[in-house]
Structure 1
Amino acid sequence: MTRIPVRASDVIIGEPLPWAVYDDRGVMLLRQGHVVRSSLQLRRLIERGAWHEPPEEEEESAGKGKLRGGARREREPFTRLSILIPRIRRMHQSIYELAKGSDKELESVAERLIQLVRDDREAMLAAINLIRDFEYSARHAAFTALLSAIMADEMNLSWRQRQGVVVAALTQNVGFFEDHDRFATSVGVLDEESRVKLRAHPNTSAEKVLSCGIDDPFILGAIREHHERYDGKGYPRELSGTAISQGGRILTLADHFVAMTSPRAYRQGLHPVVALRQIFLLSGRVGDPEMTQAFVAAVGVNPPGCCVYLDTGEQGMVVRRGAEASQPLVAVVKKAHDMGRQKTERFLQAVECSERNSRVTGPAPSMVASFQDLEYLWMENPPRLTV
C-alpha cells in the first residue's frame, strides 16, 4: 500500500476531502468527504503525520506512464495557479453573460486562490512579478486577488472579509469584460465611448455580480470603490479617506501595484521595487496611509520574484525574504542562454545572503524564467513554516 503524506497544499479549507486520512498506525482519522473547517485543524492533522492512499485514477495513470514527473508535480504552486488563470477567464465570461452557477464558481476560485496564498505566500508574490502568460484581464484579476488575500492576512481580517475582498478583486473589472484586454493593449488614446465605459465599469461590474446572486454589501462596495482615491480624486463618486470602504481601499492598492508592474503595448512594466516606492510616495493621495504601510510590509522591500544585484557583483532573483530586507534568499544567475528570441536564465542553487555576508544593493533588470525553473526553485526551497 502506497502512503502519501498529507500536505497543506493537498487540502482546500471548506471543501470535502477527496480521500480518507489515516494516522501512522493505519487508523482512519477522517473519512473521505469530511470537510476540514480551519487552518488550525489542518495544521494539527499534518503535525500528527497524517497520510492518504493515492486515488485509483492516479495509480492507473502512473502505471501507464501518463503522469510525467508524478502526481505531486501537478500540485506545485505555479502549476496550480496556471490552471486557475484560464478558469478565471471562463468565469468572467459566465458572470458577464449571467450564466447559472456563476456565483458558486466564483466562490470556488476565490477559495483556491486563498489556499495558494496560505500554502506558499512567497511563491504567489513571485508569480505576480514573473508570470506574463495568459490574457491580461484574467492575469490581472488573479494577481489582484492574490495581493488582496495577502493584505487580508497582514491585516488579520475575518474569513468572511478575506473571502469577500478576493471575490471583489476577481470581479472588479467584469463589467467591461469584452473590452478589458483591448483597452490594455491599446496604444493610442481611448475614444470618448471607451472612456465612458472605463469610468462606468466599477458600477457595471457590481451590477453584474449582484445579478449573479451575490448581494454582500462588503463585496459590492469594494467593487464600486476600487478606483476611488484617498485624496478624493478617483472615480466614479470621488469619495475620500475612510468614506471609501475597507475593501475598496485594499483593492485600490492591489490593483495599482498590478497595473504598474504589468507590461502594456505602449510601455514596460515597472520593476516591483520601483512600483513599491511609487506606492509609498503616493500614500495619502492614492492609498490609505496605514494600509500602504501594511501593503509594503506584506509585499516586502525586495519581494520574491524581483531581480536584484548583490554587493558581490552577482545578479539573481529573490526566492524568499530574509530577516533583513537586504539579505533575502537569492537564486544567483549562472548564465543566460539565448534560444532565438527567448532568453532563459540558468540559476545556481539559491543562497542565503546572510550566510554569505552579502547584501542586495539594488534592483536588476527583469529576467526570463520558465515554469520549470520556477517550480524547481520553489520546490527546492520550500516555505520555512507550513500553515
Structure 2
Amino acid sequence: MRPLREDDLQIGQPLAMSVYDQNGALLLLAGFVIENDAQMETLIARGSLVQLPERASSPPPRPGLKPRATIEAMNQLHRDVGLLHKRLLSGAAAGVQERVAQLTATIEEHLALDTDATLASMQLQLDPANHAARQTHAAIICVFATRALGMPAATARALAGAALTYDLALGPLATQLNGQSERLSYTQLAQVRAHPEVGLRLLESAGITDPVWIDAVLHHHERLDGSGYPHGLRAGAIRDTTRLLAIIDIYTAMLRPRVYRDALPARMALRSIFLERGKQVDEALAMMLVKELGVYPPGTLVRLANDEVGIVLRRGDDAAHPQVARVMTSEGFQASESLQRDTRLPEFHIADSVPYDRLPGIVANAAKLWD
C-alpha cells in the first residue's frame, strides 16, 4: 500500500483504484466518482491508502480485505445509501445508475470475501430509525438470494438496485410511523399506499428504466392472494423477482422493533413468512430463504442449553445448528474469551434467540468476532 495522493483523484472522474483506510478496510471501490473538493480533501486528510501496482516479477499481493473489514464496509455502505436517498429525494441525483452499481459491487465483493460476516453486518444494525440500513439489509439479502438461485447477473443487479431504492419515498415518514402507536391517519395511510408510485416517479426522473428494477419498486407490496397494493395483482401477474423483494421487505421489517411491537427474532420472522407461503408470498422462495439463511442467521444472539449467550458466527451444515461464539457466561458475565460452541452437541443446543436490547454493548464489540 501507499498513501493516496492528490493526483490520484479527479473530481467527476471514476477512481482508477480502490481506496482503503489505514487499517486496510475498504473505503471506496475503483469506479467510485469523486463529486467535490470536500470529498477529495477528506480522503487525503484521513491518510487513505491505495494498493501499489503489481510488478510482473512479483507474486500476487495478499488481499487487503479481512472479514472484520466487511462489517466496517457494510456500516459505511448504509451511510452511503442514506446519502443516495437524500439526493434522489432532492431531485438532484445525476449518475444514479452508476452509483447504485458501485454500491451493489461492494455488496458482491464482501459476500464473496466472507458471506457470513456480510449477512451478520446488518443483523447487528437493527435500529428502526435507520431507514437506509434497512434498505441496505434488503439489498444484501437480495444479492445473497439471487446467487443461491443462480439468477442471471444483469437481473440480479437490477433487483439489487430495486432493494437499495424501493422504499425511497417512505424514508421521510419512516421515523414518525415507526414511533407511532395510534392508528394511521387517513393522510398517513394515503402516503403509505402511494409510496411505491412516488418512488417510481423519482427513479424515472433519475433515468432508471430497467423493467426488473422498476417493477420491483412499484409492486413490492403486491401479494399472491390479491390483497396487496397499489394494483391488487394476483399470483402470475407478479414477477418472480418482485416476489423475492416482497419477502425480503417483510423479513427486514419484522426484525426491527416498533413502538407498538417488539422486534421479532430472525427465527420467528422466517417462521411467519414460511407460514404464509403459497398464500401471500411465494412458497419456493420462502423455503429457499429459510434454507439459505438458516433458522438463526449470522449475527443472531442466542441462549444455549447451558445458559450461555452466544452470537451466531457462521451458518452450519443444516439450518438449525450454526457455529456460535460465546459472548456471555452461564453466570451472566460478559465472556473474556469468545469460545466457539458446536450447537450440535446437547449442552450447546440453541434454546432461544435473545433480543439485542437486553444486552446493550454486545453489538458495539461484535465486529472483532469475525477476525
The TM-score normalised by the length of structure 2 is: 0.79
Matching of residues 128-147 of structure 1 within 5 Å: 128-133=122-127, 135-147=129-141
Q: Could you say what the CA RMSD is over the residues aligned between the two structures, in angstroms?
A: 3.3
The equivalent residue for 2:69 is: 76
In structure 2, do the counterparts of structure 1 residues 223 and 72 end up closer, same or farther at CA, with 3 Å as the change threshold? closer
**Does 2:241 match 1:256?**
no
The equivalent residue for 1:184 is: 178
The equivalent residue for 1:51 is: 61
**d(CA) in 2 for partners of 1:9 and 1:293?**
35
Please tell me whether the aligned partners of residues 136 and 184 of structure 1 are also in contact (alpha carbons under 8 angstroms): no
**Does 2:79 match 1:86?**
yes
Offset at 1:113? Answer: 2.3
Offset at 1:326? Answer: 3.7
**Does 2:289 match 1:295?**
yes
Offset at 1:257? Answer: 0.4
Offset at 1:27? Answer: 2.3
Offset at 1:52? Answer: 7.0
Choose the corresponding residue for 1:193, options 187, 191, 197: 187
Q: Which range is displaced more, 232-241 or 72-81?
A: 72-81
The equivalent residue for 2:206 is: 212
Unaligned runs of 5+ in 1: 30-48, 54-70, 339-343, 380-387
Choose the corresponding residue for 2:338, options 349, 358, 380: 349
**d(CA) in 2 for partners of 1:204 and 1:230?**
23
Please tell me whether the aligned partners of residues 20 and 28 of structure 1 are also in contact (alpha carbons under 8 angstroms): no
Q: In the TM superposition, what whole-angstrom CA distance separates every residue of 1:132-177 from its partner, at most 9, and x where no partner exists?
A: 3584311111111111111111111111111111110111111233
The equivalent residue for 2:351 is: 362
Please tell me whether the aligned partners of residues 272 and 306 of structure 1 are also in contact (alpha carbons under 8 angstroms): yes
Q: In the TM superposition, what whole-angstrom CA distance separates every residue of 1:285-312 from its partner, at most 9, and x where no partner exists?
A: 2210111111111211221122223333
Q: Which amino acid counterpart does residue 160 of structure 1 have in structure 2? A: A
**Does 2:361 match 1:332?**
no
Q: Which amino acid counterpart does residue 250 of structure 1 have in structure 2? A: L
Q: Which amino acid counterpart does residue 94 of structure 1 have in structure 2? A: R
SS in 1 for 2:325: strand
* % identical equivalent positions: 24
Please tell me whether the aligned partners of residues 308 and 360 of structure 1 are also in contact (alpha carbons under 8 angstroms): no
Matching of residues 58-69 of structure 1 within 5 Å: none
Please tell me whether the aligned partners of residues 67 and 117 of structure 2 are also in contact (alpha carbons under 8 angstroms): no
Q: In the TM superposition, what whole-angstrom CA distance separates every residue of 1:25-70 from its partner, at most 9, and x where no partner exists?
A: x5268xxxxxxxxxxxxxxxxxxx62179xxxxxxxxxxxxxxxxx
**Does 2:16 match 1:27?**
no
Q: Which amino acid counterpart does residue 73 of structure 2 have in structure 1? A: R
Q: In the TM superposition, what whole-angstrom CA distance separates every residue of 1:180-221 from its partner, at most 9, and x where no partner exists?
A: 322222222111111111111111111111110110011001
Offset at 1:223? Answer: 0.7
The equivalent residue for 1:97 is: 90
**d(CA) in 2 for partners of 1:301 and 1:195?**
33
Please tell me whether the aligned partners of residues 327 and 338 of structure 2 are also in contact (alpha carbons under 8 angstroms): no
Offset at 1:124? Answer: 2.6
In structure 2, do the counterparts of structure 1 residues 361 and 312 end up closer, same or farther at CA, with 3 Å as the change threshold? same
**Does 2:318 match 1:308?**
no
SS in 2 for 1:312: coil
Q: In the TM superposition, what whole-angstrom CA distance separates every residue of 1:70-106 from its partner, at most 9, and x where no partner exists?
A: x968961111111121221111011112212333322
**d(CA) in 2 for partners of 1:337 and 1:352?**
17
Please tell me whether the aligned partners of residues 129 and 178 of structure 2 are also in contact (alpha carbons under 8 angstroms): no
**d(CA) in 2 for partners of 1:277 and 1:157?**
25
Offset at 1:112? Answer: 1.6
**Does 2:306 match 1:277?**
no
Unaligned runs of 5+ in 2: 3-17, 33-48
Choose the corresponding residue for 1:375, options 361, 367, 371: 367
**d(CA) in 2 for partners of 1:361 and 1:132?**
21
